[in-house]
Amino acid sequence: MPRPTLTRSLRRTGVLTAAALATAVALAGPAAAHTEVEAEGARALDQNVALTFTAESESGSAGTSELEVILPEGITPADITYKEGPAGWKLAPTSRGYTVSGPKLAVGKDAEYVVTVRQLPDTESLVFKTLQTYSDGQVDRWIELDEESGGDDHGHGHPAPRLDLKAAAPGAKPVSPTPTEEPTSASASPSAEPSTAAPSSPSAQAAADDTDGDDGTPVGVPIGIGAAVVVLAVGAWWLRSRRGAAS
């Protein structure tokens, strides 16, 4: 093969190789994205443990605006305290875990934040299923367990962040559950307190008024006697008047 032809062939091969590498890198970028949780040296039953969560961005057009975490068994929303995260982001408890959210991050910027757990449960590993929401409404669901994460054409799935724990330290014990505000019971409400002098109903009060101060004799009896005495007196006076007039 003439030298010029060989040179052109090598150049063409180099261009094609570079293009193939660029394509592979472009495709591997999103494929390698994931969400993870870290706590160096964490052991079961450790207290006040700082967990660092990192959610890598998979979107090329929108920034992450919210992360929702579903807490594993043994950790409640009341056990979580927000430590630090992106500027303007805040933590809010939910019925199954919590969310951290705020102003959308720059496109391609990973979301990283830290929470403190009151106490880790006595287990070998913890899985924190996470939903990553972008400013355009797209949601990445990092919820697959190891046995479910079969992967896609790029050799990966959407595994949930997992934290492996060392065995509990000797003598470590579970602490009492985090106190929660309990609704006021009916027995403690003012309307349910027993009354030492419950007011009588109108009918009962009227009946009590009718019998106050008497000896049990019906009220009509003395009234009738009085009326009879008056009638007799008037009759006697009338008879005396007539006799005097006749004489």
The 10s digit of each residue's pLDDT in 67-82 is: 999 999 999 999 999 9
- For tokens 């990092």, what's the residue? 142
d(CA 53, CA 113): 6
H helix intervals, the chain: 3-32, 202-211, 220-246
What are φ and ψ of residue 240, in 5° steps?
A: -60, -40
d(CA 243, CA 241): 6
H helix intervals, 141-219: 202-211
Q: Give the residue from 142, 144, 143, 122 showing the smallest Cα distance to 73.
A: 122
pTM over 0.85: no
For the chain, residues with pLDDT lower than 70 are: 1-33, 147-156, 178-247
